[in-house]
Chains A and B, each alone.
Chain A
């Protein structure tokens, strides 16, 4: 993996469904993995910052895991709600202090 890749590109689910997205990234020179939630016309909202292999973080119905050895992170949303509709971005930080973003997963939750 040379770049940060996210899948799927978009996802449509029904309210109440649980869903998950994948972020793959280069595992070398890894410092941190950031997850953001971005709604149209708003600023990206920081969800999680993870640094250690095996890290698991949770914020309400949203949780994330990190595997730095194989270079991937999963974001889970339990019981999706229409207000969860947004683009979810992951970004990898290395020693250069810059975030390299994936192209995002666009989630639409139908009522």
Chain B
């Protein structure tokens, strides 16, 4: 079955603009989570959605937001982009049940802010 799909794969934005990234989870998965990878910080948790509800949020400013649709597809939005937002954004999907379920990652969206 198809894996986690993220679009776009690469994008360049200007400071002050906003960006929307999309994630299609594995079929049947109801949980989608987002992570940011920067060279200095490693993988940092942004937020997690389950059945259209945000269950948890990481320590990121309010400029970072997300949502999940009824088909489990998710989008994340970053407004008023800053140079420090340049990063790899990874989406992950799982069944969302507690315990030992595998969490599968997409290939990510590379964002460059200039």
Which A residues are within 8 Å of any B CB, using their own CB?
Answer: 31-32, 34, 36, 41-44, 46, 49-51, 89, 91, 95-104
Contacts and interface: CB of A to CB of B under 8 A. Distances in A.
A100 to B, nearest CB: 7
Size band of the B side of the interface? 20 to 34
B38 to A, nearest CB: 12
B96 A97 contact: yes
Interface string B24-44: 000000010101000000111
A13 B91 CA distance: 32
Nearest to B106: A43
Contacts of A98: 33, 45, 48, 56, 58
Interface in B52-101: 55-56, 58, 90, 92, 96, 98-101
A43 B55 CA distance: 24
Q: Which of A34, A36, A41, A44 has the most CB of B within 10 A?
A: A44
B100 A51 contact: yes
A49 B98 CA distance: 12
A31 B94 CA distance: 15
Contact of B45 (A50, A51, A100): A100
Nearest to A48: B102
A46 B103 contact: yes
Contacts of B42: 101-104
3 tightest A-B CB contacts, nearest first: A101-B43, A51-B100, A98-B45
